[in-house]
Structure 1
Amino acid sequence: MIIAVILLGLVIGMLTGFAGAGGAIITVPALVYLIGLPLDAAISTSLVMGSVSPIAALAPRIKKRLVNWPVVLFVVIAGIPAAFGGTAAGKLLPQSVLLLAFAALMVAAGVQMLRPRPSQSSAERPNFWVLRALVIGALVGFLTGLFGVGGGFITIPALVLALDIPIGVAVGTSLAVALINTLAGLIAHAGASHPNWAVAIAFTAPSMIGAFLTARVAHKISPKLLQRSFAILILVIAVMTVIQVILNW
């Protein structure tokens, strides 16, 4: 199991470093079906993991000034209370329903990542950008509390399309948001479930190494290739998750 956790940490870290998003969405099903954790423990453990990889992936982008801090502020203002709301909603739903909803979310993320993203954006902020940032924050925060994901696969295209932020800055901004949201989600889950600390600790080092190294070379990888490859991966995992739920019903 330790070897599986180390490999999972390396893969999640590399995905986070390359794309700035997407690692957490495969963590929960991997912890449930590969490691064998109960869903509530998997979500809490995923939140611990989700607070690690963004740190290593974010550091090089802060140095290159690829984070829009005003947008981070307003997204987080809405995201933190929404994370508590998502946690409360998750307590009311059975595991099978949560996993099916998570699979639907993965399908939506996969389809979104298969769509082309604008390569250029204007330097001016769009009208009502604060309101748009608050809406993005509320949606991403709720998903963080409900499913234990950072929401980067939604945050990045939302920042590009709704706020007209260049893709490179959107990735860095998304990492900062994911880091803060996952910490809020972890606090929200503290009274409901407990992380598996052995799994989280074994995950930490390979995840940070993978995220830091790939973040430094991410600009050399074809964005289209990375985007399509990851989209296919999470679509496959979504199908496998649905099959597992049906078999266990």
Structure 2
Amino acid sequence: MEIFDLLVLLVFGVVGGMLSGLVGVGGGIVFVPALVYAAGWNITEAVAASLIIIVFSSLSGTIRNQSSRDPANWRWTLLFSLAVAPSSLIGVAISRVSPETVVEAVFGLLLLALAYPTAKGRPEMDEGVQKIPTWTVFAAGIFIGALSGLVGVGGGVVMVPLMVLGLGLTAKRAVSTSLAVVMFTGLVGGLGYILTGFDRISEVPPLVVGSIVGAWLGVKVRDPLPDRVVRVGFACFMVVVAIRTLLGAFGV
């Protein structure tokens, strides 16, 4: 790999990591469109790289969260990971037999679906309060895992409200717990892509390094900004990317 290419990937990693740190979401929403539209990768390659990057970024965040007042609940992390992480292989299998346009369409529709909850923010409830049956959380976890493997998005935006409403976790503890689940999901899904022929693994390290640095910078930039402005701004970004992806998927 040429020095110029390495630097370009490093910059992509920093920018993607900054956006992720800025709004507190996994990198898939950022990295997949960046690699497809700016770096010229096909969407399957971008999804595979995104899942690998997610492993490292979520590991960093999980370690940081362990020293906070709201660390991951490891009992729920391990139980929920048993539903979500293996299910990511369903998405890997679908991506290997489906046309790229199908993956692009699913990714675009997912972004549109997540834009509103991203803008609205996470629900806040007292610890132990449950609004939906626990089994529905695990059933939804299978679907989330399959989507993660298919489009390279960790699913934290969906998992957090599910954990709050169905597992009785506070929003902050749900964020920490979902991040740990995303780590295991990315590990399984990323390995699935590597074992089924992902051949750009040598180009992932600069993206990983850049994303870790960028996430730190994003948090620093986020602190002085109003939370609602950040959430609504990123939701608008998601809608724009979704429309661009859907238009591309249908050849417009």
Secondary structure in structure 2 of the residue aligned to 1:123:
coil
Q: 1:136 to 1:215 in 2, by over 3 A?
A: farther
Give the counterpart letter for 1:229 in structure 2: G
Indicate whether 1:102 and 2:124 are aligned: no
The equivalent of 1:112 in structure 2 is: 117
Deviations 1:125-172 (A, max 9, x none): 537764244224212211111112211222223223433432222221
On the 8 A contact 1:77/1:137 being kept in 2, the answer is no
Aligned residues: 247
The equivalent of 1:57 in structure 2 is: 61
Indicate whether 1:8 and 2:30 are aligned: no
The equivalent of 2:195 in structure 1 is: 191
Give the counterpart letter for 2:233 in structure 1: S
On the 8 A contact 1:18/1:211 being kept in 2, the answer is yes
Indicate whether 1:227 and 2:208 are aligned: no
Q: Which runs of 5+ in 1 are unaligned?
A: none
The equivalent of 2:126 in structure 1 is: 122
The equivalent of 1:72 in structure 2 is: 77
On the 8 A contact 2:109/2:242 being kept in 1, the answer is yes
- Range 86-95 or range 213-222, more displaced: 213-222
TM-score of the aligned structures, taking structure 2 as reference length: 0.86
Secondary structure in structure 1 of the residue aligned to 2:41:
coil
The equivalent of 1:87 in structure 2 is: 92
On the 8 A contact 1:84/1:142 being kept in 2, the answer is yes
Q: Which contiguous aligned blocks of 4+ residues in structure 1 show a shift greater than 6 angstroms? A: none
Give the counterpart letter for 2:89 in structure 1: F
Deviations 1:199-248 (A, max 9, x none): 31111222112224545786665332221121111111111112223347
On the 8 A contact 1:60/1:216 being kept in 2, the answer is no
Secondary structure in structure 1 of the residue aligned to 2:108:
helix
- Measure, in 1, the Cα distance between the counterparts of 2:113 and 2:161: 12
The equivalent of 2:205 in structure 1 is: 201
Identity among equivalent positions (%) equals 28
- Measure, in 2, the Cα distance between the counterparts of 1:168 and 1:84: 28
Q: 1:181 to 1:230 in 2, by over 3 A?
A: same
CA RMSD of aligned residues (A): 2.4
Q: 1:139 to 1:20 in 2, by over 3 A?
A: farther
- Measure, in 2, the Cα distance between the counterparts of 1:178 and 1:208: 16
How much does 1:111 deviate? 2.0
- Measure, in 2, the Cα distance between the counterparts of 1:50 and 1:210: 13
Deviations 1:10-29 (A, max 9, x none): 13223333443242122122
